[in-house]
């Protein structure tokens, strides 16, 4: 039984070794000749002025997060759209439409909540 | 040379381990979050490869859910990190040890 | 009345009393100071069950146990446990002791606890204790017994720490509780094993099927049960909690730590006697441990000056006697001694309580007048109390003679029977019983001696407290003296229930006929080869020997302590040297036995031999606790609070899980 | 696949999972309500009503025959009903306790209750999932909601730190969990739990399969806070709002353990994993109990205690017999009640939500005589947690230990009984300080002395209900244990393997 697991151990060792070596390799192989410009925060572009800890409005993050969530939910619509034709052919189009409408409704409730709580007001 | 299933599985295993090591070694909370996402995506690769190889669609369905969950997790994670950043002005996870022992 | 109703009343009345005294005053502060009401209720809910047990007792058909099955407690799969109680010879005897002695002590405590701000709490705990104890002795299966077992443990904990503002008392309570948990653990594991082997936990299943268990498993079961019993019943190595438990109010010491709870280990062994008899190897362990406990505690008692400590070690020693009886298969004699011991030891403890009560008064007066402080429990500042406390001194005297084994008082018969059974078992070819017999004899001499010493130091001789000419103690009120007289009376006549075999060939040994398996009772006994012709003479000889050593111990102590006792203590200390100091240090150790161990220890401790007790006996117990706490502290620091360390732990855990799965 | 009648089973499925659907819809409705009427005081009570209706519905479903709904995604019948009841009761009691508590700490947002309901839906899906996809979705719905609840008090550094730790480690363990699912899927070609063993037999991918099982276990063991995956637990429980800790520590464990039982019972061949669970159980019991001794903060102590209790449940699972699983289910029910009670008492002893993180046990000296109800109910909860007869906790322990002895794991039970003997020390210390210390002896108690603790009627009612239930479980555990045992026995048992 134990010999069955040999491939697994090999694979684990391989994965660990490869991952570790990739992490270390760039340090070892890459030439390191730092100069003032290279170590600057932005090698090309504006020189950083003032503190890097400048505060952005939290709204900035908020909108970004809301975007991520709603954006990704769309993935569920792809398989639906692809197979909608088959459902239509099988005469189940209304049902599948209702189901996806409910899905949109749930997303809509989220959006409604956002608007009502002022999450999208960008002052 | 034909790219067999094992190539996909090996690649995703390597990606997964890189993600694990990232979580263990990086100090920036946001990079840790990214490492976790890398782990999830490595698994996604496994799932898609297996699903394709077996001609079964269940694995791909799970991938959709994983993507959605990952997005939600990212949002929550960022929200928490921002809330903490406003208190501590750092995202170094080694600085967060109010509770211990 | 039918048995079910009676049993319900017997159990529920004390519980109702506990609720009345404990919960109501919590929310109605006005009730807390109504001492007469609380005292009356508390005493009544124990006295009435006594009458009810008596009714059951009188109406009992010998050999036909009544099982009162209220409802199936748990039925799931093969596990079937009923909320059932068992009325048979053994449980009736124990029930009578618990409720009878309990009621007397409740009455006594009404006087003793007068004016205490926790009066109501005290009686709530005491009632709860009676409820738990009745569950313990009446239950028909291991689980109901365990319910009581744990319950009495909790009540004991609460009552030892009753005066909790004194940190020492809390520490004593904790010690008792933790030591008892070790015993409880063994009990539980034994219970699980019994269930696995027999598929049932009621006593009928266990006693009938117990003998068929494979020997190795059976030995483990009996050994674990015995470890459980050593915790509750204060045997080596778990006895250390009992002397400390004297921190509780004296009625508690009398009820819980002398008469009832500490004997529950004996009850357990007697109840499961057929199973215990099937494991003769473990009986050797029981007997030897018991013998060592008995003589160790007796020797310590000689050198104690705190009157309650003397009684505490005497209790440990007497419990050793009872386990000796169990170890030689004479379970019914153990129960006989449980009963007589309950009478005289309760009487002694209550007497000491009466003395302490009186000395408290003296302490206050002396402190008021001179500013000097005396310990109201220290016998060195007593003496001559006979003049002021006639009832207390007389009852104490009677009970003292009883425990010393002076014929024809109760202790003589029960102790003599134990020694006889040990002799008989040895005669039957079990060599270890000889050892038990000899140690028992030695202990008997010591017992008579130290008990007489405590009487004469306390009640006779000169009055040794400061300002003895101005300050006088007073006799206690009737609520305290009446129980004393009743218990003293029982200590006189109690022994006649178990007349020895020489009288009418044992036909008048009522307790044997009542409990013994040959007569249809529940308590098993080993089958011995019939004795030869000359055995009757040997029996008589043994009886005379027993009586003789009791008289010797008593009269010797009387001669030495009656007039000026402290002088003889000093003489003993000078004469016995290290040995006496070992006793004082509560440790049994023969100096000649191993000087090589003693010497190095002396260097570490001024108390010399006491160090052994502190570091080895106590140390074993405290050490386990300290070790746990130490590990706990050490392990805590793995919890660094840093999230990546936690993640690393998860990775290691994952590797652990996967490798366990792959290599399983 | 024939798509024509694809919605034919919809009505039946809706009825079969009515409680889950109801709670989900009510949660959505609460979001809308809160959007229009910010923090309306009726929101929690609407949630309570929904949960109550769902509990009653599930009570009637306890005797149902086994089945699946939603194309085999979700299991229905007695087992599912039992798990749902435990989760729902946990949510219900926690919400009632939360209402005054959150008001006190000035965080009585309407969304909180919607999120609790969402978490509850996730737990119900997790506990009844019959397919690894559903397990994953349920687990994540639950976890993400809990991350938010942990960090509820976002102005507080401690709470946010707890949330971050919980989140990072939770997401990390999800990675392992998901990888486990992927490997199992690859080894068996199916995500359906009941079909896994036949898929395994066909595929012969043993290595992949067992590695997958190991990773899956990591995910489960993390969520139930078994050692060495427990380290997040004390930090998170200490930082999170107390009544929500009560919810997290009970319902989460119930749902996760239920899912683990389903996986063990329905999907895995009965070999190889017994030793893993036994070893993890030992580690968990030892770590939980030993570390609890050293704690000064009561919430942290209770966190370690909840780790220890996960260990006891694992003993039942390690037995690997139907009796063991049935005992574990019973234990989860009892544990939920006693833990919610204990955390409930602690929540009532706070005054603005932050002392929970720092409050030491000693500062509560003498609180018993001052607040007899809290003190007296705490007595019951602590004794139940120790496992004293005749309270429910005792039978819980018997129900998990006895099957383990029968399965030949006596050594494991000895460790368990010893560990629970140790536990008496720290549980009873709570009672000792509550009742037997006087505040004058304890300098730390000065801050608590001049506080007035209001005990709202609703919270008092929850505590009393918990006490009554614990007494009931102690005196009449038979019916419930029989019910849980019936899930695993006989042809009509609701844990019968379904195609």
Q: Give tens-digit pLDDT for C79-107.
A: 788 889 999 999 999 999 999 999 999 99
Other chains touching A, judged by 3 or more CB pairs under 8 Å: B, C, D
Classify residue D56: in a domain, yes or no. yes
Scanning every residue of chain D, which has its alpha carbon at the shortest distance from the alpha carbon of C663? D272
The average pLDDT across D285-301 equals 86
Q: Which residues contact D358 (CB under 8 A, 6 or more apart)?
A: D297
Q: Cite the DSSP H helix spans in D62-205.
A: 78-104, 110-128, 132-150, 157-188, 196-203
pLDDT at D245: 94
Which of C629, C638, C639, C644 is the mutation pick for testing B, counting most B CBs within 10 A?
Answer: C644
Q: Give tens-digit pLDDT for C569-582.
A: 888 888 887 778 77
Q: Which of C218, C153, C214, C221 is nearest to C192 (CA)?
A: C221
- Between C393 and C503, residue with greater pLDDT: C393
ipTM entry: 0.88
Q: Which residues contact D421 (CB under 8 A, 6 or more apart)?
A: C181, C182, C184, C185
pLDDT at B93: 83
Scanning every residue of chain B, which has its alpha carbon at the shortest distance from the alpha carbon of C649? B24
Based on the structure, what is the number of domains in chain D?
Answer: 2
C-alpha to C-alpha distances, D359 to C285, D103, D347, D439, nearest whole angstrom:
49, 20, 11, 15
Helix (H) or strand (E) holding C276: helix C273-277
Provide the sign of the torsion angle of the four alpha carbons C90, C96, C98, C101, taken in this order: negative
The alpha carbon of C630 is separated from its chain's Cα centroid by a whole number of angstroms, namely 32
Other chains touching D, judged by 3 or more CB pairs under 8 Å: A, B, C
Q: Does D241 share its domain with D377?
A: no
Q: Does D71 share its domain with D99?
A: yes
DSSP string, D294-359: T--BHHHHHHHHHHHHHHHHHHHHHH-SHHHHHHHHHHHHHHHHHHHHHHHHHHHT-SSSSHHHH-
Q: Give tens-digit pLDDT for D459-498.
A: 999 999 999 999 999 888 888 888 888 888 755 555 555 5
pLDDT at C593: 29
Query: Is the pLDDT score of D353 beyond 80?
Result: no
The average pLDDT across C508-529 equals 86
In chain A, where the domains are located: 2-116
pLDDT at C16: 94
Q: Give tens-digit pLDDT for D202-241.
A: 766 778 888 899 999 999 999 999 988 998 999 999 999 9
Count of other CB atoms within 10 angstroms of residue B65: 17
Query: Is the pLDDT score of A35 beyond 80?
Result: no
pLDDT band at C599 (very low <50, low <70, confident <90, very high): very low
Query: Is the pLDDT score of D424 beyond 80?
Result: yes
Packing angle between helix C142-160 and helix C119-138, nearest 10 degrees? 160
pLDDT band at C395 (very low <50, low <70, confident <90, very high): very high
Residue appearing with tokens 């040297």: C577
Q: Report yes or no: D365 and D437 within 8 Å, Cβ to Cβ.
A: yes
Scanning every residue of chain C, which has its alpha carbon at the shortest distance from the alpha carbon of D484? C76
Long-range CB contacts (< 8 A, 24+ apart) of C506-515?
C511/C93, C511/C332, C511/C335, C511/C336, C511/C339, C512/C332, C514/C62, C514/C89, C514/C93, C515/C89, C515/C90, C515/C93, C515/C331, C515/C332, C515/C335
Count of other CB atoms within 10 angstroms of residue A48: 10
Question: Which chain C positions have a beta carbon within 8 Å of A2's beta carbon?
Answer: 662-663
Q: Contact A72/B71, CB-based, under 8 Å? A: yes
Give the domain-ending residue among D267, D286, D319: D267
User: For chain B, what is the largest distance between any 2 Cα atoms, rounded to a whole number of angstroms?
Assistant: 55
Q: Contact D276/C660, CB-based, under 8 Å? A: yes
Give the domain-ending residue among D267, D290, D322: D267
Query: How far apart, in whole angstroms, are the C-alpha atoms of residue C376 and residue C382?
Result: 8
- Between C554 and A32, residue with greater pLDDT: C554
Query: How far apart, in whole angstroms, are the C-alpha atoms of residue D237 and residue D98?
Result: 15
Q: Cite the DSSP H helix spans in D263-297.
A: 273-293
pLDDT band at C311 (very low <50, low <70, confident <90, very high): very high
Query: Is the pLDDT score of C129 beyond 50?
Result: yes
Closest CB from D175, D183, D191 relative to B19: D175
Q: Which residues contact C558 (CB under 8 A, 6 or more apart)?
A: C452, C456
Give the domain-ending residue among D207, D240, D267: D267
Which of A113, A114, A115, A118 is the mutation pick for testing D, counting most D CBs within 10 A?
Answer: A113
Q: Give tens-digit pLDDT for C322-363.
A: 999 999 999 999 999 999 999 999 999 999 999 998 988 888
Q: Report yes or no: D294 and C632 within 8 Å, Cβ to Cβ.
A: yes
- A74 part of contact set with chain C, CB < 8 Å: no
pLDDT at C603: 39
Query: Is the pLDDT score of C588 beyond 50?
Result: no
Q: What proportions of chain D, in percent to the nearest 5, are helix, strand and coil? A: 75, 0, 20
Classify residue D196: in a domain, yes or no. no
Query: How far apart, in whole angstroms, are the C-alpha atoms of residue C639 and residue C620?
Result: 29
Question: Beta strand C79-87 with D67-69: parallel, antiparallel or unpaired?
Answer: unpaired
Query: Is the pLDDT score of C186 beyond 70?
Result: yes
Provide the sign of the torsion angle of the four alpha carbons D483, D486, D487, D493, taken in this order: negative
pLDDT band at C455 (very low <50, low <70, confident <90, very high): very high
Query: How far apart, in whole angstroms, are the C-alpha atoms of residue D465 and residue D89?
Result: 11
Provide the sign of the torsion angle of the four alpha carbons D468, D471, D475, D481, taken in this order: positive
Q: Does D301 share its domain with D251?
A: no
pLDDT band at A55 (very low <50, low <70, confident <90, very high): low
Q: How many CB pairs under 8 A join C and D?
A: 179
Query: Is the pLDDT score of A15 beyond 80?
Result: no
- C664 part of contact set with chain D, CB < 8 Å: yes
User: Which of B29-43, C71-85, D24-38, D117-131 comes out lowest in average pLDDT?
Assistant: C71-85
User: For chain D, what is the largest distance between any 2 Cα atoms, rounded to a whole number of angstroms?
Assistant: 78
Q: Contact D326/C76, CB-based, under 8 Å? A: yes
Q: Contact D405/C652, CB-based, under 8 Å? A: no
pLDDT at C77: 66
- Between A36 and D415, residue with greater pLDDT: D415
Q: Does D250 share its domain with D376?
A: no
Whole-model pTM: value is 0.85
| DSSP type of residue C387 | G
pLDDT band at C623 (very low <50, low <70, confident <90, very high): low
Structure-block tokens of residue D91: 């949510």
Question: Which chain C positions have a beta carbon within 8 Å of D184's beta carbon?
Answer: none
Query: Is the pLDDT score of C247 beyond 60?
Result: yes
Closest CB from D160, D174, D183 relative to B80: D160
Q: Does D254 share its domain with D139?
A: yes
Q: Contact A15/B79, CB-based, under 8 Å? A: no
Q: Contact C636/D291, CB-based, under 8 Å? A: yes
Distance from CA of A109 to the nearest CA of B (A): 16
C-alpha to C-alpha distances, C20 to B64, C26, C41, C134, D463, nearest whole angstrom:
64, 10, 8, 18, 21
- B67 part of contact set with chain A, CB < 8 Å: yes
- D442 part of contact set with chain A, CB < 8 Å: no
Q: Does D16 share its domain with D38?
A: yes
In chain C, where the domains are located: 1-278, 281-578, 617-663
Q: Give tens-digit pLDDT for A58-92.
A: 677 778 888 888 888 888 888 888 888 888 888 88
User: Which of C40-54, C389-403, D17-31, D55-69 comes out lowest in average pLDDT?
Assistant: D55-69
pLDDT at D225: 93
Query: How far apart, in whole angstroms, are the C-alpha atoms of residue C228 and residue C153?
Result: 12
pLDDT at C594: 36
Query: Is the pLDDT score of C617 beyond 50?
Result: no
Q: Contact C76/D210, CB-based, under 8 Å? A: no
Containing domain of residue D152, as a range? 11-162+230-267
Residues of C with CB under 8 A from a CB of A: 662-663
Provide the sign of the torsion angle of the four alpha carbons C339, C340, C345, C347, taken in this order: positive
Phi, psi at B92, each rounded to 5° = -75, 120
Q: Does D341 share its domain with D237?
A: no
Query: Is the pLDDT score of C397 beyond 80?
Result: yes
Classify residue D191: in a domain, yes or no. no
Question: Beta strand D67-69 with D74-76: parallel, antiparallel or unpaired?
Answer: antiparallel
Residue appearing with tokens 């008048």: C508
For chain C, give the percent of residues with pLDDT over 70. Answer: 91
Classify residue D445: in a domain, yes or no. yes
For chain A, list the strands marked E by DSSP. none
User: Which of C621-635, C637-651, D17-31 comes out lowest in average pLDDT?
Assistant: C621-635
Greatest mean pLDDT range, A106-120, C591-605, D197-211? A106-120
- C200 part of contact set with chain D, CB < 8 Å: no
Scanning every residue of chain D, which has its alpha carbon at the shortest distance from the alpha carbon of A12? D211
In chain B, where the domains are located: 28-90
């Amino acid at each position: 039984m134990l010999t069955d697991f040999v491939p697994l151990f090999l694979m684990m060792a391989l994965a660990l070794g490869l991952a570790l070596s990739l992490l270390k390799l760039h340090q070892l192989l890459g030439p390191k000749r730092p100069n003032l410009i290279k170590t600057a925060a932005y090698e090309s572009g504006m020189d950083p002025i003032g503190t890097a800890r400048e505060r952005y409005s939290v709204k900035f993050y908020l909108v970004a997060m809301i975007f991520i969530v709603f954006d990704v939910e769309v993935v569920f619509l792809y398989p639906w759209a692809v197979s909608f034709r088959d459902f239509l052919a099988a005469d189940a189009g209304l049902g599948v439409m209702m189901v996806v409408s409910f899905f949109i409704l749930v997303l809509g409730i989220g959006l409604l909540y956002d608007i009502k709580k002022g999450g999208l007001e960008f002052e | 040379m034909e790219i067999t299933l094992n190539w996909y599985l090996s690649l995703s295993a390597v990606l997964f381990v890189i993600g694990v090591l990232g979580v263990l070694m990086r100090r920036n909370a946001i990079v840790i979050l990214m490492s976790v996402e890398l782990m999830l995506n490595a698994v996604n690769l496994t799932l898609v490869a297996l699903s394709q190889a077996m001609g079964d669609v269940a694995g791909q369905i799970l991938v959709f859910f994983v993507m959605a969950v990952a997005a939600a997790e990212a949002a929550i994670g960022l929200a928490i990190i921002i809330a903490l950043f406003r208190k501590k002005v750092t995202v170094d996870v080694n600085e967060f040890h109010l509770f211990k022992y | 009345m039918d048995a079910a109703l009676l049993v319900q009343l017997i159990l529920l009345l004390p519980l109702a009393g506990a609720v009345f005294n404990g919960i109501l005053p919590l929310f109605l502060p006005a009730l807390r100071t109504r001492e007469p009401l609380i005292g009356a209720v508390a005493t009544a809910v124990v006295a009435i069950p006594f009458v009810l047990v008596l009714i059951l007792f009188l109406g009992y058909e010998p050999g036909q146990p009544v099982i009162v099955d209220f409802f199936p407690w748990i039925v799931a799969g093969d596990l079937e446990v009923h909320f059932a109680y068992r009325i048979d010879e053994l449980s009736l005897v124990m029930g009578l002791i618990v409720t009878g002695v309990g009621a007397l002590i409740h009455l006594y405590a009404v006087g003793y606890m007068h004016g205490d701000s926790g009066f109501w709490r005290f009686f709530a705990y005491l009632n709860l204790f009676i409820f738990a104890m009745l569950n313990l002795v009446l239950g028909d299966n291991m689980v109901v017994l365990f319910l009581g077992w744990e319950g009495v443990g909790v009540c004991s904990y609460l009552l030892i720490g009753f005066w909790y503002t004194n940190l020492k008392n809390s520490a004593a309570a904790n010690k008792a509780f933790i030591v008892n948990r070790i015993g409880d653990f063994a009990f539980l594991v034994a219970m699980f094993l019994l269930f696995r082997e027999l598929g049932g936990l009621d006593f009928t299943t266990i006693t009938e099927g117990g003998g068929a268990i494979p020997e190795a498993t059976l030995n483990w079961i009996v050994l674990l049960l015995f470890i459980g019993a050593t915790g509750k019943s204060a045997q080596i190595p778990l006895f250390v909690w009992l002397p400390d438990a004297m921190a509780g109010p004296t009625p508690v010491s009398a009820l819980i730590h002398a008469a009832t709870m500490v004997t529950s280990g004996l009850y357990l062994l007697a109840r499961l006697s057929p199973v215990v008899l099937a494991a003769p190897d473990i009986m050797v362990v029981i007997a030897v441990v018991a013998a060592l406990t008995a003589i160790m505690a007796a020797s310590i008692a000689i050198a104690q000056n705190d009157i309650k400590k003397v009684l505490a070690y005497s209790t440990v020693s007497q419990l050793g006697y009872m386990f000796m009886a169990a170890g030689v298969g004479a379970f019914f004699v153990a129960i006989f001694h449980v009963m007589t011991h309950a009478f005289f030891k309760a009487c002694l403890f209550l007497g000491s309580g009466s003395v302490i009560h009186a000395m408290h008064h003296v302490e206050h007066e002396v402190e008021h007048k001179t500013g000097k402080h005396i310990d109201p429990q220290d016998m060195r500042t007593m003496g001559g109390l006979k003049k002021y406390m006639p009832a207390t001194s007389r009852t104490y005297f009677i009970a003292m003679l009883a425990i010393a084994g002076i014929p024809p008082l109760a202790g003589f018969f029960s102790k003599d029977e134990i020694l006889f059974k040990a002799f008989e078992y040895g005669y039957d070819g079990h060599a270890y019983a000889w050892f038990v017999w000899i140690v028992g004899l030695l202990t008997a001499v010591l017992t008579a001696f130290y008990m007489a010493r405590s009487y004469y130091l306390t009640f006779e001789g000169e009055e040794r407290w400061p300002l003895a000419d101005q300050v006088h103690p007073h006799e206690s009120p009737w609520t305290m003296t009446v129980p004393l007289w009743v218990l003293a009376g029982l200590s006189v006549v109690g022994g006649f229930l178990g007349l020895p075999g020489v009288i009418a060939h044992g036909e008048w040994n009522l307790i044997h006929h009542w409990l013994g398996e040959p007569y249809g009772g529940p308590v098993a006994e080993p089958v011995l080869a019939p004795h030869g012709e000359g055995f009757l003479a040997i029996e008589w000889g043994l009886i005379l020997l027993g009586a003789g050593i009791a008289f010797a111990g008593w009269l010797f102590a009387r001669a030495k302590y009656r007039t000026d006792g402290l002088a003889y203590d000093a003489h003993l200390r000078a004469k016995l040297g290290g040995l006496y100091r070992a006793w004082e240090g509560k440790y049994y150790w023969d100096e000649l036995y191993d000087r090589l161990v003693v010497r190095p220890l002396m260097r570490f401790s001024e108390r010399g031999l006491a160090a052994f007790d502190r570091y080895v006996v106590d140390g074993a117990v405290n050490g386990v606790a300290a070790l746990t706490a130490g590990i706990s502290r050490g392990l805590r620091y793995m919890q660094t609070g840093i999230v990546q360390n936690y993640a690393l732990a998860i990775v290691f855990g994952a590797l652990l899980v996967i490798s366990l799965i792959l290599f399983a | 696949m024939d798509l024509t009648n694809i919605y034919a089973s919809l009505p039946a499925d809706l009825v079969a999972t009515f409680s889950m659907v109801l709670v989900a819809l009510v949660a959505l409705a609460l979001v809308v309500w809160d959007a229009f009427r910010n923090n309306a005081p009726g929101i929690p009570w609407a949630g309570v009503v929904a949960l109550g209706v769902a509990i009653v519905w599930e009570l009637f479903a306890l005797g149902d025959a086994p089945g699946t709904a939603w194309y085999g995604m979700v299991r229905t019948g007695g087992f599912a009903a039992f798990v749902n009841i435990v989760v729902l009761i946990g949510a219900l009691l926690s919400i009632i306790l939360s209402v005054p508590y959150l008001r006190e700490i000035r965080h009585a947002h309407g969304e909180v209750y919607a999120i609790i309901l969402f978490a509850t839906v996730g737990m119900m899906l997790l506990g009844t999932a019959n397919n690894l996809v559903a397990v994953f979705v349920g687990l994540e719905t639950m976890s993400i909601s809990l991350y938010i609840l942990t960090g509820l008090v976002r102005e507080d550094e401690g709470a946010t730190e707890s949330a971050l730790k919980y989140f990072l480690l939770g997401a990390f363990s999800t990675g392992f969990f998901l990888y486990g699912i992927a490997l199992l899927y690859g080894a068996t070609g199916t995500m359906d739990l009941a079909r896994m063993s036949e898929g395994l037999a066909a595929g012969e991918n043993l290595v992949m399969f067992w590695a997958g099982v190991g990773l899956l276990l990591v995910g489960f063991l993390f969520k139930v806070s078994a050692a060495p995956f427990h380290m997040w637990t004390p930090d998170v429980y200490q930082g999170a709002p107390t009544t929500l800790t009560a919810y997290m520590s009970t319902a989460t464990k119930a749902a996760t353990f239920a899912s683990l039982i389903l996986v063990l019972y329905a999907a895995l061949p009965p070999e190889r994993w017994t030793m893993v669970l036994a070893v993890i159980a030992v580690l968990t019991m030892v770590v939980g109990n030993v570390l609890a001794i050293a704690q000064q903060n009561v919430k942290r102590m209770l966190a370690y205690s909840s780790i220890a209790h996960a260990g006891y449940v694992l003993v039942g699972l390690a037995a690997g017999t139907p009796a063991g699983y049935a005992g574990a289910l019973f234990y989860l029910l009892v544990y939920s009640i006693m833990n919610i009670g204990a955390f409930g008492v602690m929540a009532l002893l706070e005054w603005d939500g932050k002392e929970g993180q720092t409050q030491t046990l000693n500062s509560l000296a003498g609180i018993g005589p001052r607040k007899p109800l809290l003190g007296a109910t705490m007595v019951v909860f602590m004794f139940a947690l120790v496992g004293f007869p005749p309270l429910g906790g005792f039978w819980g322990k018997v129900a998990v230990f006895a099957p383990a002895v029968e399965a030949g794991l006596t050594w494991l039970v000895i460790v368990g009984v010893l560990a629970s003997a140790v536990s008496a020390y720290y549980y009873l210390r709570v009672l000792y300080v509550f009742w037997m210390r006087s505040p004058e002896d304890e300098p730390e108690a000065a801050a608590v002395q001049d506080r007035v603790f209001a005990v709202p009627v609703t919270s008092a009612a929850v505590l009393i209900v918990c006490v009554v239930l614990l007494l009931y479980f102690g005196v009449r555990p038979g019916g419930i244990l029989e019910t849980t045992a019936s899930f695993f026995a006989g042809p009509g048992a609701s844990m019968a393997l379904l195609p």
